[in-house]
Structure formats: structure tokens, C-alpha cells
Structure 1
Amino acid sequence: MTSLRTFAAVSAFSLAALFAAPSAMAGDPMIDAAISAGEVGETIDGLLGVVGQADPALVRKVNEINNRRVAKYAEVAAETGTTPAQVARLTGEKQIGRLEAGEFYMDESGVWKRK
């Protein structure tokens, strides 16, 4: 019975994390352009990051999106009985996997890399 509950929790967590990302995604023309230009990238912890220096307006926009993502991760964690860090990590891995060639991501060591 315990393994069935564990399987159900892991399944729910995986599905919730998968669907958390689109609602917390950028979808903003400024961010989308910055991602394409290599000014913004995804991090392994499920947040956007500024690659190098950026205009203060872009930094504010990244922070707004990250705040929405953090709130969504907390919501999904509460629904699935996991932690926000687990949801963020799984989402970060999925977001990095979805990047197009040439877009940036930050690996576990904190180094920006181009996919």
C-alpha cells in the first residue's frame, strides 16, 4: 500500500510540475526577445536569470516572472505534498530540456552555457 501511495504522489508531482511551467512561463515579448538574444536564460532551479548585464527594465521583468514562478511552485508543492524546491528543480530541468539551440541555461555549478 505504501508503494502505491508513493507512486501516486510521484505521478501527481510530475504531472503538476509539468503543467506548472507553462502558467509561470515568460510569454512576454520583452523576455522572449531577451532569451533569443542570449540576455536571459533558464536556471536549473526553475527560474529565469540574466546572462551578464541587462537593462533595469529587463531585470524587473525577470524578477516579476520569477516571483510568479515561485508562487506557483509553492502552490504545486502544497497540492502534491512535496517541497517548492523539488517542484522548481523538476521544472527547471524540463525548461532547460525545452530550450532551442543557442539559448542559455545555467547548470548546477552556476555556469551559463549555450544549448
Structure 2
Amino acid sequence: MNMLKKTLLLLGILITLPALAISLDEAKDQGLIGEANSGYIAIVETSSPELVKLVKQVNTKRKSAYAQIAKRNNIDIAQVAARAAEKLEQRLSPGEFYQDNLGRWVQK
């Protein structure tokens, strides 16, 4: 009986773990991450393994997209990322963070 309870508890924890993962929008809304002036996202202040994983996933996808655009237009990926940073900053919602040209975090 005790083993059954432990098994059910473990199963319950495993089922709820994916629900605990934070989305990009939630992290932005909570001020945990922001748009860096590099065209990628970055952690604003307090880090956690979950945030590090999210940032890495998003930035990997962005880098891939930037590389495709750069190749298609025969320009440097840094140019694509810089232009993306400008556009992403313009689309931020009030309260979200972005990094200014001096690297300071600013709340929109």
C-alpha cells in the first residue's frame, strides 16, 4: 500500500512538471527576460535553470532564422540580428524589458 502511494505521488509529479514550464510570453510579462540589443533574448536579473533553457531554445531558433535570412540576402548575420533587435523592441508591450544601446535594461 505504501509503495502504491509513492508510485501515485511520483506519477502525479511527473505529469505536472511540463505544466510548470514557463512560456516566453509569461517570462516577458513577469519581467524575467527581455529583448537584448543583440537581437536575442536574455535574462534580466534572476536566473533559473528553467529560464536558461528557455533562453537557449528561443535564441537557437532565432539564430537559425537569422542565418537563413542573412544567406538569402547575402549579408552578415549580425546585420540581421541588429535589425531584428530594433523591430522586436518596437513590438514590446508596456512593462516588458529591452536592453538599450549601453546594455542597460529598460522597461517599456
Q: Would you call these one fold, judging by a TM-score over 0.5?
A: yes
1:67 to 53, 60, 85: 60
Q: Which runs of 5+ in 2 are unaligned?
A: 1-20
Name stretches of at least 5 consecutive residues in structure 1 with no aligned partner.
1-27
Runs of 4+ in 1 over 3 A off after TM superposition: none
CA distance in 2, matches of 1:82, 1:53: 35
* Identity %, equivalent residues: 36
- Quote the offset at 1:54 in angstroms: 2.2
Question: Partner residue of 1:58?
Answer: 51
2:30 is aligned to: 37
Name the counterpart of 1:94.
87
Give TM-score, length-normalised by structure 2: 0.77
1:29, distance to aligned residue in structure 2 (A)? 5.5
- Letter of the 2:71 partner, please give it: A
- In the alignment of these two chains, the number of paired residues is 88
**Pairwise CA RMSD of aligned residues?**
1.4
Who is 2:3 aligned against? none
1:49 aligns with 2:51: no
SS at match of 2:65: helix
Distance 1:52 1:44 in 2: 16
Q: Which one has the largest radius of gyration? A: 2
TM-score normalised over the length of structure 1:
0.72
